[in-house]
Structure 1
Amino acid sequence: MADNTPIDIIHSREYDDPATSKDGRRQSLGPKRDTAIQGAKSGEDIPPDGGYGWVCVASVFWINAHTWGINSSYGVFLSHYLSHDVFPNTSPLMYAFTGGLSISCALLVAPLATYLIHLFGIRVVLNMGVFFETLSLIGSSFVTQRWQIFLSQGVCFGLGMGFLFVGSVGITPQWFYRRRSLAMGINAAGSGLGGLIYSLAVGAIIPRLGLSWAFRILGIISCVVNLVCANLLRDRNKAVGTRFKAFPFPLLKRPEFLLFLGWGIFTMLGYVAVLFSIANFALSVGLSAHQSSVIGALLNLGQGLGRPFVGMFSDKLGRINIATFLTFLCGLFCLLIWTFAKSMGFVSFFAVLVGTVAGTYWATVAPVLAEIIELKDLPGGLSLTWLFLVAPTTVAEPIALVLRDNDSNDRVYLHVQIFTGLMYIAAGVCLWLVRGWKVGDNIRVKEERSSSAIHQDKTGGVVVPQQGGESGDNNSGANCSPLPPKSALWYPHTLVCRMVSAKKV
């Protein structure tokens, strides 16, 4: 999509400026409309907020369903491996590394994928992802030794998932502004729906057709769906002016970005643990193998149902606000509900409930990062983020298995439950601190623009009023001290004041 046509004709202020009334007075059309007016006047890109963007949303939805969704069914595979000793002399810890390895390889390949997109475009990278994922699943159906399953279901699947994920995750934000979080929530729901479908499917296929045919069926279906969706996607990199930097290390000098990384690291330690442990936890409390696969499917059902609503409320109430609140809430669910779940009904209730909030990170990571850095720097910021998530996604499930108390009769997973809850709470604290910075930064930007507008008005320039970010903040005081300089936004008394203020960010 081409860049917007620059405005090179100066129109009369009274006739053409929609922010000016007939009597010459300035009038505000709302923060989002004012931003659009400013973007049009400066020749900057304005996302269409729909159109072909909805085709892209649908395509990314199904790509997520056949990458992260299939990966979510690993809990069922893990339960089968542990209960049937598929590969002799393989410890539970080694099996656990296989599931974490697929996610960590997907994130580790992010800088390479970002660089290849810069060289060849997204279409090449997406089709590379389809190739590697298909090779992984079909290859897994012929493995006979444990090292082969590590390479196929772990490394190779992770490469395919990584190329598809990195190639597609940054496209939707380019098409939306007001509905960005809703669109991203719908995208993220794909992994939940895919996890639901394939957790049930794998749980039914393995007893009837065997492990090999479960892999082959997944490979054929995912190849067809991903191939179609990958070639329907269309980016707006030229319009946005996207900068593809695989390693934008200057971001690491910014405290808000480091805390954003902390949010991701702690979330992944909790998320992977609950995602891959829930099926085997069901076995530990006396449920059958079929019931454990149902529990895993219910958790993914919760993710599929919850993520669009996470996105919708993020657009209405603030992206950082919702991400912070739901991250805290997930930690409380793990500590206060999971620790008491023992029956099929109670475990099912927890699985659906925690599923709605456990994957909040994936539904909000791109919109939240877009609030911290510029949209054109988003691919580089995400590339660096995925790199930092490699370690926690690799070790999360092994940590969970080590924390199991196998000598206990009914509390095998108690330490895992506490660990998961505390990780989510720590993640929420990190993002809450980012919220405090963002509130202050929005006010600072608003005051800077106000001062600039006054200066332009005095010198006869055209003034276009703007709002600071998307906070809708009309009261810069907010019962706090006056706005400090930019370098002082992290002063403790200022930060705490902004953290508890009722602002939309």
Structure 2
Amino acid sequence: MDSTRSGQVLALRTFSGLADNPHTSTTNGSAHSLNTGASESRPQEPSRTYQALLVFAGFMMLGHIIGINSIYGLFQEFYTSPETNIKDAQGQEALVSLVGTIGSGLTWSGCIFVNPIIPRANVKLITLIGAFIMSAGIILASFCDQLWQLFLTQGLLYGIGSSMYYFPLMSVIPTYFDRNRGAAMGIVVSGAGVGGLILSPVFHALLTRLGIRWSLRVLGLWNFAVSIPIASVLKKHGATGATGQSRVSMPIVKRGTFVLQACHLLLCPSVGMLSAIPSDEFGQSVGAFLQAAGNMVPNYYLTTYSVSVLSYSSSTGSLLLALNTAANTVARIGMGVLADRVGRQNTMVLSVIFSAVSVLALWYDSDPARFLAFIVFYGMLAGGYSALFPTTISEIYGIQNYASMNSAIYFVRGIGVLCGAPIAGIILGSHQSGDSNSNPSRSSQMLSIEALKTRYNDVAVFDGVLLLAAGLCVAYVRWLDARDKGGWLWRA
């Protein structure tokens, strides 16, 4: 959730936390030198009016991207249903979820291409072009009647555009704040949850009244119309020096904490290459990959589970999705407060492990009451990693390596998003849910509710194992970071 959801949020809080904690460890050089370098490249403090405009623009932009990503479950429930306008998508959970994960995955993994050009390009123009491509993908999806067309529009075009729309603004905002970065973080991050909270019931209402084609057109036109004033807030060339260099430092890549955070398994597939990487570099990368893969699965299948297994109406399913998003929004603030008291890495470890517990204990073989509890608790717990992992990047690797490490790990998280939900769809298999006794002519394609619930139980086990493994990786990184800093501290 946001994934997932996303998030996907750059760490304005990171810089505030570093300023507040003079003992924060850095990888290259002292904290003093880092702060000096950042201040040299930071622009003069702008007016409060301009700061407010930047924060509001970030809030709205996150509401667009994370909100649309988080409600893809509504699209999936419709595309795979008998009412679908994409006939070869009916019952194809894995293929339809892959459309959404391509869009969401490219939102994050596209940073590895977008971030390096931001310091040298017109960020306002990049943002506008990205919003146009993103909106075009949504609108063109309304004309699709075959699944491969959705892959090109709602998957590929949307993902490329959303990445270009997202990263320029989020790389510029931190450079315009000094004392109030923490407050700016709270406001900007809240847009991620508010977007999904509003879009879920609104899009369902549009879908009910206008149908899928006009709903997509309205969504795409609205997205582009709002993106124009958002992009206009940006100056042509944003000062991004405070976020550090854009290239990945090879000494950092060779550290085990990076591999565990970013998933060097994808970059170094052979045993020989892996054996050359120090063990402490292996955990951070794997953790990011596994958490991103597992985090999006409930978001994509929450609505289909509530409709197909619990026999709720689609409108109730959209409300449950909104409830999940609302819990996630509130929890982001709570996780930030808790992290300041008990440590950011500690809080992140607990959030990932307990999100796995919530999946295995509450989603597996759930009845309506337990599923409602799962929606709330998973929404509260799943946001911890997305909200806190950018902060831990700076704490572990140093602020001067923040931009490069953030890009690399976002890239790996994007790849992780591409894997989780489609594999869950393969586990579910092609099916038409419902009561086969009431529709004998279609019984060969339909599953009983009990049979379908059994498949969802397998999905819950798959997702729980992914998240539990991610939690163990993050805990291992926590231990490795303490070792590298020369001693264990309970608050970290």
Aligned partners of 1:41, 1:356: CA distance in 2, in Å? 34
Q: For residues 274 and 238 of structure 1, do their structure 2 counterparts lie closer, same or farther at Cα, with a shift above 3 Å needed? A: closer
TM alignment of 1:422-437, pairs within 5 A: 422-437=465-480
Letter of the structure 2 residue corresponding to residue 411 of structure 1: T
The CA deviation at 1:148 is 1.8
2:138 maps to what in 1?
137
- Segment of structure 1 superposing worse, 223-232 or 421-430: 223-232
Q: For residues 354 and 53 of structure 1, do their structure 2 counterparts lie closer, same or farther at Cα, with a shift above 3 Å needed? A: farther
* Pairing 1:347–2:371 present: yes
Aligned partners of 2:146, 2:422: CA distance in 1, in Å? 20
Aligned length: 419
Aligned partners of 2:38, 2:350: CA distance in 1, in Å? 33
3-state SS of paired residue (1:67)? helix
TM alignment of 1:156-175, pairs within 5 A: 156-174=157-175
Q: Is the 8 A contact 1:75 1:275 kept in 2?
A: yes
Q: For residues 378 and 49 of structure 1, do their structure 2 counterparts lie closer, same or farther at Cα, with a shift above 3 Å needed? A: farther
2:311 maps to what in 1?
286
The CA deviation at 1:347 is 2.5
Letter of the structure 1 residue corresponding to residue 86 of structure 2: F
The CA deviation at 1:293 is 1.5
Q: Is the 8 A contact 1:182 1:312 kept in 2?
A: no
Q: Is the 8 A contact 1:62 1:190 kept in 2?
A: yes
1:270 maps to what in 2?
294
2:227 maps to what in 1?
226
The CA deviation at 1:334 is 0.8
TM alignment of 1:85-484, pairs within 5 A: 85-90=84-89, 91-174=92-175, 183-184=184-185, 186-233=187-234, 237=239, 240=242, 242-245=244-247, 248-261=249-262, 262-283=286-307, 284-343=309-368, 345-404=369-428, 408=451, 410-442=453-485, 444=486
3-state SS of paired residue (1:389)? helix
Unaligned runs of 5+ in 2: 1-19, 263-285, 430-446
* Pairing 1:64–2:71 present: no
Q: Which of the residues 36, 39, 50 maps onto 1:45?
A: 39
Unaligned runs of 5+ in 1: 1-29, 445-482, 484-497
Q: Identity, % of aligned pairs?
A: 23
Aligned partners of 1:40, 1:280: CA distance in 2, in Å? 49
Q: Is the 8 A contact 1:269 1:423 kept in 2?
A: yes
Q: Is the 8 A contact 1:72 1:275 kept in 2?
A: yes
For normalisation by structure 2, the TM-score amounts to 0.77
1:491 maps to what in 2?
none
Aligned partners of 2:24, 2:84: CA distance in 1, in Å? 63
The CA deviation at 1:174 is 4.0
What is the root-mean-square deviation in Å for CA atoms of aligned residues?
3.2
3-state SS of paired residue (1:412)? helix
Q: Is the 8 A contact 2:243 2:399 kept in 1?
A: no
Q: Is the 8 A contact 2:142 2:212 kept in 1?
A: yes
Q: Is the 8 A contact 1:306 1:357 kept in 2?
A: yes
Q: Is the 8 A contact 2:79 2:85 kept in 1?
A: yes
Q: For residues 211 and 241 of structure 1, do their structure 2 counterparts lie closer, same or farther at Cα, with a shift above 3 Å needed? A: closer
1:6 maps to what in 2?
none
Letter of the structure 2 residue corresponding to residue 432 of structure 1: A
The CA deviation at 1:32 is 4.3
Q: Would you tell me which structure has more helix in proportion to its own residues?
A: 2
Q: Is the 8 A contact 2:339 2:346 kept in 1?
A: yes
- Higher Cα radius of gyration: 1
